[in-house]
Amino acid sequence: MGVAIAYSELRQRFMSVLRSRLPISTSTLNEKPSTQRHDNEVNPVIEGSEFAYKATNIVLVNEDGVKTAAKLIRQRLLVESYTPRTWRTHPLHLLPSDPYVALDPTNKSVLNWIFLISCLNFSFWSEKEGQPDRYSVEWRDKWDSSEKKLWTGYWSLVASLNRALVDDDIPITDPKFYSSEVLCPDSLIEHVFRRSPQSAESIPLLGERIAIMREVGSILCKNFDGSFQGFLDEFHRRHNGEGTALQLVQMVVDIFPTYRDEVIVNGEKVCLWKRAQILVAEIWAAFYPANSTYPHPIFPGVRGPKIQQLTMFADYRVPQILHHLCILDYPPSLLETLHTGTPLQSGASEEISLRAASIIAVERVKEEILKLFVEEGKCGEDTVSSVLIDFYLWDLAKKIENGEDRIKGMKTAKTVPIHRTRSIWY
């Protein structure tokens, strides 16, 4: 009973914060824009990050490091054949049918699965980093296997939801289910995220995760026929089937308060939108056609997804690998904070600087890779994006952390701990 009361109090406080961030109105839900939200098609995350980067002036982009790392990243992408379709190779991902079949009911299930994961994709770092009793989830090592594995970090979230769907027969990714406190009480959600026997800690911010599930589930049920497929149908209606990835990100931010990852810097609003952008990027990758010349089923318009308009996803893992690759320079004071494990408050200057600098740095890397293509007389604009670079860097950071890979052929900085910010935004 005490746990339930705590969750209820947390939810009430959290919901008041969410609703203070531009609450949803009937006009917003019924809006069918006649013009683009961003006529110049510039992602506000880029504009805001440029401003915050200069205003904070703490974490700096190393231009020489950018050029050197761009060559390495491009070469590795080629050698490893790392493409949007690599998303389908991750062992815990739920895959849509391939080739795409519009009426396949699996599509709806995959979209609901990606949506809920993106809603809860935040704050997996542990107070017990590197220790065997950190929070972990025991589940299969891949979908079609009977072998068990301990999953930590982000993958503990994915494993928890998959385990609930397959082993426990709990429809946890159905908004009509998880929005209901009757069908899906707090205690059941706590059970879904249960830790492995050797873990000495629970999943962080459980109360906030429950509040978000109730909020987004209710929005989908009240306005979009109870599924993220319904949300996408409305997106296509608003944009006459010509909507882009950036326009979908904007609609997600407009409709769901939990995706409004924004801060005020020197009186200016700065949009960072980590989870909104990664939600759209995951959908883009999951449904990416085997033949890249085919229309993307989620973005079938003549312009396609225009995925190049999205930025990297500013979290705590990618800045770490950017520093290791000498793309980012940290001042001594920040290095001391990281090495001592001192928490950084969400919205603190150092935390904003880390995120903004990471966004700008990956944009610079993308530009350098495009220059390499031009120098070779090739066109790389349709194949190089900050999204793909982020996907690759995140995977690389985890491999280096697990001792599965290391950087050769270029100078690197000693790997420093991630920054510790406990937040729903990343």
Known catalytic membership, residue 405: no
The pLDDT score that the predictor gives to residue 378 is 79
Q: Using CB atoms within 10 Å of the CB of residue 64, give its burial: 0 to 12 exposed, 13 to 18 middle, 19+ buried.
A: exposed
Widest CA span of the chain, in angstroms?
67
What's the average pLDDT block by block, 10 residues per block, for the chain (426 residues)? 38 44 40 41 96 98 98 96 97 96 96 98 95 97 96 98 98 98 98 98 98 98 98 98 98 98 98 98 98 95 97 98 98 98 97 98 97 85 91 97 94 97 98
Nearest to 82 by CA among 364, 313, 390, 362: 390
The pLDDT score that the predictor gives to residue 40 is 55
Chain center to CA of 320: 16
User: Given its phi and psi angles, is residue 80 left (phi above 0), alpha (psi -120 to 50 degrees) or beta?
Assistant: alpha
The pLDDT score that the predictor gives to residue 14 is 42
Q: Which helix (H) or strand (E) is 46 found in, with range?
A: helix 44-56
Three-class SS state of 226? coil
Nearest to 138 by CA among 120, 152, 154, 124: 152
Preceding omega of 197 cis (within 30 degrees of 0) = no
Chain center to CA of 348: 21
How many angstroms separate the CA atoms of 197 and 206, rounded? 18
Q: Note the helical H segments in 202-328.
A: 206-223, 228-238, 245-255, 274-286, 318-324
The pLDDT score that the predictor gives to residue 377 is 80
The one catalytic residue among 141, 315, 382, 405: 315
Q: Which amino acid is at 254?
A: D
